[in-house]
Chain A
Amino acid sequence: KAGVTQTPRYLIKTRGQQVTLSCSPISGHRSVSWYQQTPGQGLQFLFEYFSETQRNKGNFPGRFSGRQFSNSRSEMNVSTLELGDSALYLCASSHRDRPTHMSYGYTFGSGTRLTVV
């Protein structure tokens, strides 16, 4: 069974550019969430999607946007990149719509490491 696939794994962009990251969830998983991890702030929630609808958004500026397609694949976009956007971007998928009592509710991808220069 394939895991959560994030592409690309590594990315270098210049300030002011925009970037699109992709996340393919485990087959059958309809919930996809995105997170940003930086050394200073740790892990922070970006967005949550379920069935092509954004259900929640974290406290990030409007330059950060995302979407989910009918096949549950998700993309996030960051426009007008800043140096501070350099981070590991992780997505996670789950087949549950609500908090679950299962031991393993989430599967994370390996992340996309974005460096803004």
Chain B
Amino acid sequence: KNEVEQSPQNLTAQEGEFITINCSYSVGISALHWLQQHPGGGIVSLFMLSSGKKKHGRLIATINIQEKHSSLHITASHPRDSAVYICAGPYGGSQGNLIFGKGTKLSVKP
């Protein structure tokens, strides 16, 4: 079964902490998206990567194709980072046919 597994499901951190969210996926997924969803529903695409590492501000995403594992790191976390983080992979060579993880709900306390 092709699927995407995320951990942890819930994460509470203090402002300033370094945060890691993990995503493991099965065969059939050629790349990985990291998405951020704030209360109210809007989704922001943070990264799409198929190899190596990408960085944008305080966010870093890494992927290990051989191990079928990706991580999203947030450095110097801030309460405004509180959101649900979702990883997703395009399946079967189709860009839009995404298989989603269940999401990690992050709460950063001041």
Contacts and interface: CB of A to CB of B under 8 A. Distances in A.
Interface of A: 31-33, 35, 37, 42-45, 47-48, 55-56, 58, 88, 90, 92, 94, 96-111, 113
A48 B45 contact: no
Interface residues of B, number: 31
Interface of B: 30-31, 33, 35, 40-45, 47-50, 54, 56, 86, 88, 90, 92-103
Given A33-B96, A43-B86, 20 more contacts: A44-B100, A45-B99, A48-B97, A55-B96, A56-B96, A92-B45, A98-B95, A99-B50, A104-B47, A105-B45, A105-B48, A105-B95, A106-B48, A107-B45, A108-B43, A108-B45, A110-B40, A110-B42, A111-B42, A111-B43
Contacts of A106: 33, 45, 48
Contacts of B99: 45
24 contacts: A32-B96, A35-B98, A43-B86, A43-B98, A43-B100, A90-B41, A92-B96, A94-B95, A94-B96, A96-B95, A99-B30, A99-B50, A100-B48, A100-B95, A101-B50, A105-B45, A105-B48, A106-B45, A108-B35, A108-B43, A109-B42, A110-B40, A110-B41, A110-B42
Contacts of B98: 33, 35, 43, 45
